[in-house]
Amino acid sequence: MELLPELEQLAYHAPRGVSDAFIAFVDARLNAGCPVTLVPSKDTRLWR
């Protein structure tokens, strides 16, 4: 199973801090040999 094999960044908007979901996702990718960078985003819009 291969999902998002080229993923490099995970952008998030979390004014109250990073949730466990993002950390778990990043951790999982790291363990799978495909590290991703967690990037904060000030843009609340889905599309820009």
Q: What is the binding site for other proteins (CB under 8 A)?
A: 1-14, 19-22, 24-25, 27-29, 31-34, 36, 39, 41, 46-47
CB of 23 to other proteins, least distance (A): 8
CB of 16 to other proteins, least distance (A): 10
DSSP 8-state secondary structure symbol assigned to residue 21:
H
Taking the CA atoms of residue 23, residue 14, residue 48 and residue 34 in that order, the dihedral angle to the nearest 10 degrees is: -10
CB of 38 to other proteins, least distance (A): 10
Rounded to an integer, what distance in angstroms lies between the CA atom of residue 44 and that of residue 42?
6
